[in-house]
Structure 1
Amino acid sequence: MILDQFTKKLFSSKSGKDSNAKSLLKSISWRIVGTIDTIVISYIITGQLVMAVSIGSVEVVTKILLYYVHERVWENASKIKADEPAAEYIRS
């Protein structure tokens, strides 16, 4: 009962949007689903469980790093556009 109230506070926000904690847990669970998918596909292709788990283990690290770089590139691209001065037109 006490845990239920704590969980509701942790995962809800007043604006109706997901809380940061819920978004983080959703991200982690999605990464787990993606890694399991990679392991299953790798096992189907290679037929070797050890190889499939190895591929899945490497995939977790590389996807996290690639996602981080992807986010930073998008963040910088957004800032450049936002920081540019507005175009001024001369009327004649």
Structure 2
Amino acid sequence: MRILVMGLPGSGKTTLCQKLKTQFENAVHLNADEIRERFNDWDFSDEGRLRQSKRMRRLADEAVANGQVAIADFVCPTEETREQFDPDLTVWMDTIDKSRYKDTNKVFRAPNHYDFKFDDWEQANDPEPVVAAVMQQSTSRKIAKAVTWRILGTGVMMLLAWLITDDVAAALSIGAADLIVKSVLYYFHESIWDKVKWGSITKIQQR
């Protein structure tokens, strides 16, 4: 999952991201300044900002491919940069009206779409609402994938059965049996995988 924590410099993005990172067993915090330093790219022109957004997206995708939660911490000032990063969840840190950087203030535009808007510093210190949303999205995505895959699989099985037997009733019976048997098998398969923590998005249990 790619989480974007965006807002003006000094709005509390890094504070929230650091706290978010501690809430997951396997997460990476992608700080924009650290990334710019790593690539020696301090170009804040429109082209430079788009290049940075593309770079952040690539690093986030690499983290997700490794089973991590990617927490991206950068200004992401325009709709174009946000669309390019394409987050699964967006947090807008709307805690200040302007930063000390006039050029950034000039280009920054309030986002049209976001999942959370934090407008005070107290919220920057409370990652729990974002964590809950991440866990809910993860569960909903798994369920949606399981259902759509099962519908597709059963549909293909029924079509093949009909082509082989030329009997609609038989095809429907085979499809129904396929749906029931494979759904039960999938349940036990997922139950086993629930015990395997590798590659999972898991909230750390607070003691």
Structure 2: where are the runs of 5+ without partners?
1-87, 91-133, 198-207
Runs of 4+ deviating beyond 6 Å: none
2:187: which partner in 1? 68
Residue identity matched to 2:145: K
Paired residue for 2:151, among 22, 28, 32?
32
Structure 1: where are the runs of 5+ without partners?
1-11, 80-92
Paired with 2:141 and 2:190, the residues of 1 have a C-alpha distance of 19
- TM-score normalised to the size of structure 2? 0.28
State how many pairs are aligned.
66
1:2-41 pair list within 5 angstroms: 12-13=88-89, 19=137, 20-41=139-160
1:9: which partner in 2? none
More helix by share: 1
Q: Percent identity?
A: 31
Paired residue for 1:59, among 168, 174, 178?
178
- 1:35-75 CA deviation, whole Å, 9 max, x = no partner? 00000010011110110011000110100111222333455
Paired with 1:21 and 1:72, the residues of 2 have a C-alpha distance of 16
1:8: which partner in 2? none
